[in-house]
């Protein structure tokens, strides 16, 4: 089944609490209605935006946050960065572009509305917001977190408040065909923008196969858009840390849960997405945030907004629609009773990875402003290098979210943090950590890391990995913590930027199965965790999983895939897997390319001045720059013709103007040469000269 993206709304939990009027923490003064000479308030709700500067405020909820647990956004903006000159596309369920705190930053005429089947009307149409339920305020809240105006006496501000935005309505309507949905998803990845924010995803309790044409669109955007520097596709990881299966509309009577994973949605297995998880005001993973090896970083997303702080942002204007409304059963701020929200134009209940994504989008705008020459790979490197190791511990073992009955004796469900051989710390809960805006812009402004040309260990035409097990039948022991293992030897010496695994198995219950990938340097990454309870009776063909845990390591050497079955009963085998390394070549790469194969020609030939016509199958290494040939009277010898380049030709070849002896046996020798002048082993075949 191909994946058609559907919107997964953030948790919106309602209760009642009281809140005292906010205080101002950005150095501005409040307006005294009895003093006409007072200074107007500057962003009066900024003091409640704990992700800017966490002072332990409660953001109108019952409990307070933990002082210092923030993303240093205010500190970065105080350095003079606000995202000016950067263009952000907000793809969501519609946005009130005329909102008092958004309209000055809208890219008028560049919005889109995909609710029509007429593609000529998509671009330039207003992203109209439906009025039927509170969740239709989602796109307006997302836009505010990234790009609400700042220093204007209204609301809070966006993390990239100097950036401009266009809103795309891509959610909130029904699709009639798969092809229509796909066409819109491809188009929504294209355009004259620097950042694309995607605060939506799939339902989280079943597999969604990757879509090749969507992958092509992401490839184009990350290599060609933004004048060839590549755009930032920032994607919510999802809100399915624990997803009740009845909410997937697959079986309403099923009250069990699913332990979510970013790798369930295989479209997120494209390294072009910057997948972001959510952190709360206490500085730990938000209760809902979907984990997985596909995460890059985490950003503030908040909790429910009633018991614990959520996010403060823009809401649909007026008190009869949106999240904040007079009929709310939440806090006084949401009801419009608080002096700071009399018109109900703002909400304190926005949360989810839907919030984390625009927070990161705005921070990415600060990074791009700090250094407009950065490629998207440079930006990812900066994020990986500067993010805070939130909730840090290398020793904590994570327990199964579905309870102890889902554990397997002798098997650790997952680790909170691991440290790889390149010195990067990675977590399936946090990626490389919580984004630190200040450290990111400071590194960007003095950036000197030389990131090499992007390469991948796949054939440029067939797109198949050079490292492939072929068909195998490797039994997975039932309910056995030792599992089974299979290896592939990688000859490319890359600085790893990401790793993808293509996996096939005939196991009858994929939810039992856990997958771990172990690098040649001993780092382990959990791609799938055991006993997820995902809805599936088989693995999709060529299931694709992504991990970022090996960032910065060398790819050279033996990689191990470990497969564990976490429950008894259903069984199966690994039938195939392949490994794709994405990154750039390490300076001084000493690895040799794979040799060409299958050299074919006549075994006898009645010419003494030329070779028989010959062909060979090219090397499967993607770093070959030419082939060389020699001819000799002994195997591997070169007495007749020393090594000479034949370029990249490999079919219908011959060498003439030779002086060969009748009845003598001669050898053709072929080898591959890579960009570092490393030679492969020699492919050899002989023929005899007939009278």
In a domain, 10, yes or no: no
Residue 32, pLDDT > 90, answer no
For the chain, the domain total comes to: 3
Helix/strand/coil (H/E/C) assignment for every residue in 104-127? HHECCCCCEECCCCCHHHCECCCC
Please report, to the nearest 10 degrees, the dihedral formed by the alpha carbons of residues 360, 362, 366, 371 taken in order. 80
Q: Are 654 and 611 in contact (CB under 8 A)?
A: yes
The structure tokens listed for 80 are 């003079």
Contacts of 622 (CB under 8 A, 6+ apart): 455, 456, 457, 458, 459, 460, 466, 492
In a domain, 193, yes or no: yes
β-strand pairing of 683-689 with 604-605: parallel
Confidence of residue 636 (pLDDT cuts 50, 70, 90): low
Mean pLDDT of the region 61-69? 96
User: Are residue 543 and residue 601 in the same domain, yes or no?
Assistant: no
Query: What is the pLDDT, as a whole number, of residue 585?
Result: 86
- Among residues 585, 608, 629, the one where a domain terminates is 585
Query: What is the pLDDT, as a whole number, of residue 588?
Result: 60
Query: What is the pLDDT, as a whole number, of residue 638?
Result: 66
Confidence of residue 461 (pLDDT cuts 50, 70, 90): low
Query: What is the pLDDT, as a whole number, of residue 24?
Result: 29
Only one residue has tokens 């007939």, namely: 690
**Tell me: the pLDDT tens digits for 660-685?**
999 999 999 999 988 667 889 899 99
User: Are residue 547 and residue 620 in the same domain, yes or no?
Assistant: no
Query: What is the pLDDT, as a whole number, of residue 677?
Result: 76
Q: Domain range for residue 466? A: 459-585
What is the crossing angle of helices 376-386 and 353-370, to 10°?
110
Mean pLDDT of the region 173-198? 93
**What span, in angstroms and rounded, lies between the C-alpha atoms of 63 and 46?**
18
Mean pLDDT of the region 605-612? 92
Q: Is residue 222 within a helix (H) or strand (E), and if so which, with residue range? A: helix 212-223
Mean pLDDT of the region 204-231? 94
Mean pLDDT of the region 328-332? 89
CB neighbour burial string for 99-108, b if at least 16 within 10 angstroms, e if fewer: bbbbeebbbe
In a domain, 314, yes or no: yes
The structure tokens listed for 258 are 């699913």
DSSP assignment string, 597-639: EEEE--SEES-SSSPPPBEEEPPS-TTEEEEEEEEESSTT--S
- Give the Cα-Cα-Cα angle 167, 171, 173 (nearest 5 degrees): 125
User: Are residue 557 and residue 635 in the same domain, yes or no?
Assistant: no
Q: Is residue 273 within a helix (H) or strand (E), and if so which, with residue range? A: strand 273-279
Contacts of 510 (CB under 8 A, 6+ apart): 207, 534, 536, 537, 538, 539
User: Are residue 267 and residue 357 in the same domain, yes or no?
Assistant: yes
Confidence of residue 20 (pLDDT cuts 50, 70, 90): very low
User: Are residue 558 and residue 604 in the same domain, yes or no?
Assistant: no
- Among residues 400, 421, 445, the one where a domain terminates is 445
Query: What is the pLDDT, as a whole number, of residue 249?
Result: 62
User: Are residue 536 and residue 612 in the same domain, yes or no?
Assistant: no
Burial class (CB in 10 A: 0-12, 13-18, 19+), 254: middle
* Domain CATH number, residue 555: 2.60.120.260
The structure tokens listed for 459 are 């054939």
- Among residues 528, 555, 585, the one where a domain terminates is 585
Least confident of 64-68, 409-413, 534-538: 534-538
3-state secondary structure of 474: strand
Q: Is residue 356 within a helix (H) or strand (E), and if so which, with residue range? A: helix 353-370
In a domain, 343, yes or no: yes
Residue 512, pLDDT > 50, answer yes
β-strand pairing of 295-300 with 273-279: parallel
Q: Are 196 and 86 in contact (CB under 8 A)?
A: no
β-strand pairing of 513-518 with 615-617: unpaired
Confidence of residue 293 (pLDDT cuts 50, 70, 90): very high
Query: What is the pLDDT, as a whole number, of residue 22?
Result: 31
Query: What is the pLDDT, as a whole number, of residue 405?
Result: 94
The structure tokens listed for 201 are 């995803």
User: Are residue 467 and residue 441 in the same domain, yes or no?
Assistant: no
Give the bridge partners for 154, in sequence order: none
- The torsion angles phi and psi of 417, rounded to 5 degrees, stand at -140, 145
DSSP assignment string, 70-86: S--HHHHHTTT-S-TT-
Query: What is the pLDDT, as a whole number, of residue 434?
Result: 98
Query: What is the pLDDT, as a whole number, of residue 29?
Result: 35
Only one residue has tokens 């023929």, namely: 687
**How many Cα atoms within 13 Å fall on the side-chain side of residue 94?**
19
In a domain, 12, yes or no: no
Mean pLDDT of the region 82-110? 97
Query: What is the pLDDT, as a whole number, of residue 3?
Result: 34
Residue 444, pLDDT > 90, answer yes
3-state secondary structure of 562: strand
The more confident residue out of 437 and 556 is: 437
Q: Is 384 left (phi over 0), alpha (psi -120 to 50) or beta?
A: alpha
Spatial CA neighbour of 691 closest among 663, 659, 657: 663
Spatial CA neighbour of 254 closest among 535, 606, 14: 535
**What span, in angstroms and rounded, lies between the C-alpha atoms of 572 and 369?**
52
* Domain CATH number, residue 676: 2.60.40.10
Give the bridge partners for 347, in sequence order: 313
User: Are residue 167 and residue 263 in the same domain, yes or no?
Assistant: yes
Contacts of 278 (CB under 8 A, 6+ apart): 237, 239, 285, 286, 288, 289, 298, 299, 300, 301, 302, 351, 352, 353, 355, 356
User: Are residue 255 and residue 155 in the same domain, yes or no?
Assistant: yes
CB neighbour burial string for 341-359, b if at least 16 within 10 angstroms, e if fewer: beebbbbbbbbbbbbbbbb
Residue 132, pLDDT > 80, answer no
User: Are residue 538 and residue 680 in the same domain, yes or no?
Assistant: no
**What span, in angstroms and rounded, lies between the C-alpha atoms of 208 and 223?**
25
The structure tokens listed for 54 are 């966490």
Confidence of residue 40 (pLDDT cuts 50, 70, 90): very low
- DSSP 8-class letter at 9: P
Query: What is the pLDDT, as a whole number, of residue 209?
Result: 93
Spatial CA neighbour of 180 closest among 2, 369, 402, 421: 2
Residues in the chain: 691
**What span, in angstroms and rounded, lies between the C-alpha atoms of 29 and 67?**
22
- DSSP 8-class letter at 267: G
In a domain, 571, yes or no: yes
**What span, in angstroms and rounded, lies between the C-alpha atoms of 181 and 185?**
6
Spatial CA neighbour of 678 closest among 606, 590, 596: 590
- DSSP 8-class letter at 462: T
3-state secondary structure of 46: helix
The more confident residue out of 638 and 499 is: 499
User: Are residue 268 and residue 357 in the same domain, yes or no?
Assistant: yes
Confidence of residue 380 (pLDDT cuts 50, 70, 90): very high
Q: In this structure, is the dihedral angle defined by the CA atoms of residues 595, 601, 604 and 607, taken in order, positive or negative? A: negative
What is the crossing angle of helices 376-386 and 437-445, to 10°?
130
DSSP assignment string, 306-351: SSS--EEEE--SSTTSSSS-TT-SS-HHHHT-SGGGTT--EEEEE-
**What span, in angstroms and rounded, lies between the C-alpha atoms of 654 and 35?**
95
Only one residue has tokens 């450290």, namely: 439
* Domain CATH number, residue 261: 3.40.50.200
**Tell me: the pLDDT tens digits for 344-377?**
999 999 999 999 999 999 999 999 999 999 999 9
Residue 12, pLDDT > 60, answer no
In a domain, 52, yes or no: yes
**What span, in angstroms and rounded, lies between the C-alpha atoms of 51 and 312?**
9
Query: What is the pLDDT, as a whole number, of residue 425?
Result: 97
**What span, in angstroms and rounded, lies between the C-alpha atoms of 127 and 92?**
9
Residue 105, pLDDT > 60, answer yes
User: Are residue 495 and residue 364 in the same domain, yes or no?
Assistant: no
Query: What is the pLDDT, as a whole number, of residue 33?
Result: 35
Q: Over pLDDT 90: what percentage of the chain?
A: 74
In a domain, 139, yes or no: yes
Q: Are 281 and 53 in contact (CB under 8 A)?
A: no
- DSSP 8-class letter at 444: H
């Amino acid at each position: 089944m191909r994946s058609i993206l559907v919107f997964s709304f953030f948790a919106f939990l309602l209760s009642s609490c009281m809140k005292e009027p906010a205080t101002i923490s950005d150095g501005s003064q409040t307006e005294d209605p009895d003093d006409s000479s007072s200074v107007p308030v500057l962003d009066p709700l900024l003091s409640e935006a704990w992700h800017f500067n966490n002072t332990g405020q409660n953001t109108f909820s019952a409990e307070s946050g933990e002082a210092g647990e923030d993303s240093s956004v205010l500190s970065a903006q105080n350095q003079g960065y606000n995202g000016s000159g950067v263009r952000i596309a907000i793809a969501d369920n519609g946005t009130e572009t005329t909102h008092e705190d958004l309209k000055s930053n809208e890219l008028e005429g560049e919005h889109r509305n995909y609710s029509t089947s007429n593609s000529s009307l998509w671009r330039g149409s207003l992203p109209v917001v439906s009025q039927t339920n509170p969740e239709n305020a989602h796109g307006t809240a997302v836009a505010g977190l990234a790009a609400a105006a700042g220093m204007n006496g209204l609301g809070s501000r966006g993390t990239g408040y100097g950036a401009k935005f266009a809103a795309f309505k891509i959610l909130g309507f029904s699709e009639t065909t798969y092809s229509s949905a796909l066409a819109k998803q491809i188009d929504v990845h294209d355009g004259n923008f620097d950042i694309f924010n995607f605060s939506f995803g799939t339902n989280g309790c079943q597999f969604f196969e990757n879509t090749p044409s969507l992958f092509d669109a992401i490839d184009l955007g990350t290599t060609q858009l933004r004048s060839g520097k590549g755009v930032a596709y920032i994607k919510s990881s999802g809100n399915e840390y624990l997803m009740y299966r009845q909410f997937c509309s697959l079986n309403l009577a099923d009250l069990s849960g699913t332990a979510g994973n970013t790798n369930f949605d295989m479209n997120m297995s494209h390294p072009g997405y910057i997948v972001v998880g959510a952190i709360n005001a206490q500085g730990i993973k938000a209760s809902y945030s979907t984990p997985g090896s596909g995460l890059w970083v985490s950003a503030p997303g908040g909790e429910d907004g009633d018991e614990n702080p959520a996010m403060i942002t823009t809401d649909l204007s007026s008190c009869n629609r949106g999240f904040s409304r007079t009929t709310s059963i939440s806090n006084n701020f949401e009801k419009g009773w608080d002096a700071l929200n009399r018109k109900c134009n703002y909400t304190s209940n926005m949360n989810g990875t839907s919030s984390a994504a625009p927070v990161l989008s705005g921070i990415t705008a600060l990074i791009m402003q700090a250094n407009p020459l950065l490629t998207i790979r440079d930006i990812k490197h900066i994020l990986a290098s500067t993010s805070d190791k939130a909730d840090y511990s290398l020793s904590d073992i994570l327990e199964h979210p579905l309870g102890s009955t889902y554990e397997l004796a002798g098997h650790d469900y997952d680790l909170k943090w691991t440290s790889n051989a390149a010195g990067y710390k990675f977590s399936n809960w946090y990626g490389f950590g919580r984004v630190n805006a200040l450290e990111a812009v400071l590194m960007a402004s003095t950036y000197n890391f030389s990131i090499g040309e992007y390469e991948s260990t796949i054939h440029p035409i067939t797109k198949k990995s050079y490292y492939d097990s072929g068909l195998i039948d490797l039994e997975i022991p039932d309910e056995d913590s030792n599992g089974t293992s299979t290896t592939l030897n990688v000859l490319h010496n890359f600085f790893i930027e990401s790793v993808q695994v293509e996996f096939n198995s005939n196991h009858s219950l994929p939810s039992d199965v856990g997958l771990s990938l172990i690098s040649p340097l001993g780092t382990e990454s959990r791609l799938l965790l055991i006993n997820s309870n995902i809805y599936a009776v088989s693995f999709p063909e060529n299931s694709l999983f992504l991990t970022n845990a090996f960032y910065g390591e060398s790819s050279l050497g033996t990689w191990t895939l470990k497969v564990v079955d976490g429950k008894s009963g259903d069984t199966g085998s690994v039938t195939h897997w392949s490994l794709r390394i994405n990154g750039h070549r390490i300076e001084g790469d000493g690895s040799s390319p794979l040799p060409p194969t299958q050299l074919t020609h006549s075994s006898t030939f009645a010419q003494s001045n030329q070779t028989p016509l010959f062909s060979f199958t090219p090397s499967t290494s993607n770093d070959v720059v030419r082939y060389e040939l020699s001819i000799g009277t002994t195997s591997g010898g070169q007495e007749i013709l020393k090594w000479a380049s034949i370029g990249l030709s490999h079919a219908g070849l011959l060498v003439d103007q030779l002086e060969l002896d009748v009845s003598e046996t001669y050898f053709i020798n072929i080898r591959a040469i890579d960009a570092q002048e490393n030679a492969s082993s020699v492919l050899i075949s002989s023929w005899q000269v007939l009278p």
